[in-house]
Structure 1
């Protein structure tokens, strides 16, 4: 089989994640069909996840599916949340080789801060040396990536009232270089998705 025969189903919590992944995914796994399903927040996703994964497990009998769940950690213990998700997948009869769980800790905004050239392409007044500044040297360690990104944009004259997350996600995402992103969390997502697609192909 070839990678093109694999279909990726992504389950996400919010519109900005859906819109960003819509433009980023084709750069990570070109020519792989995908569908992004957006829920009404974390609790809605968790409530519906057991039934959805059971459905995917049945479809695996005749479809080459790979499922990616992107969910916010919020105040949950990361390890416990991961165990909970794995239990749901196991109970649904879904092979672990067919599913990737990504627990996000302000992840999307960390990804944007990890690609300063893309950030500058979308927002030209953002300084090109942003990644050299101490606070932004490690995009995954800004403390609160959403607030950090909002600060960067507001201080340079963008999104002054509030951060328009969907607009920012698409605007930055279209310029992202998936091979050069400095965010470790992005690299883990990128490499995990590629393994998920290639191992079953």
Structure 2
């Protein structure tokens, strides 16, 4: 089986490049695609994507239509995994929006939508032992205050635990520096994660969905 994995930023891509082989095994293949933010869906889901727009949702309908056509003969062997942050959206409403894209695809690809609740850093915080191994000087009081998949400003909480001066100091340096710092956290923490005992429900959903696809191949 071959997985095409779409993710909204480089930090998510870095984490998935490390995690995917551990979930799907070496006998299967994958390719990850990182975008410059989540963005928003176009009103006309059948419209062509704007090549100058590098955000995930703006490009997603065109990507899924093309994928459905390319692998029409065997869609289940070439699934598309879409990983994006939920942020403050209603999970049911957002999932309905994503599933509606498939209605304009003919033929339809085999697509799975995985939402990181609230943000991708929730998957890192689902394994506090991994965070503390990667960053022994992390502020335990901050980490231990976290409730898994809470909508609480997840990346800011991780910054408060790991970054000198916390999220406030990091935000002052701009989005580019913050994005690079998120990538570094993913690169440092993910290798230490125990994928079988992660406490993030949204990570476990992602892991188990991939395994279900493999079991049904």
TM-score, normalization by structure 1: 0.82
Aligned pairs, number: 190
Paired position in structure 1 for 2:184: 167
CA distance in 2, matches of 1:50, 1:23: 27
Corresponding residue to 2:134 among 122, 133, 136: 122
Paired position in structure 1 for 2:153: 144
| Structure 1: tracts of 5 or more residues without a match | 1-5
- Aligned Cα RMSD in Å? 2.5
Paired position in structure 1 for 2:20: 25
Are 1:84 and 2:97 counterparts? yes
Deviations 1:117-171 (A, max 9, x none): 211221112367977x3x22x322262211111111136x899952500000111
Are 1:38 and 2:49 counterparts? no
Are 1:179 and 2:192 counterparts? no
Higher relative contact order (CA 8 A, sep 6+): 1
Residues 161, 80 of structure 1: alpha-carbon distance in 2 compared, 3 angstrom cutoff = same
User: What is the CA-CA distance between 1:74 and the residue it aligns to?
Assistant: 3.7
- After superposing on structure 2, the runs of 4+ consecutive aligned residues of structure 1 that deviate more than 4 Å are 127-131, 157-161
**Native 8 Å contact 2:116 2:123 kept in 1:** no
| Structure 2: tracts of 5 or more residues without a match | 40-54, 171-177
Paired position in structure 1 for 2:69: 58
TM-score, normalization by structure 2: 0.77
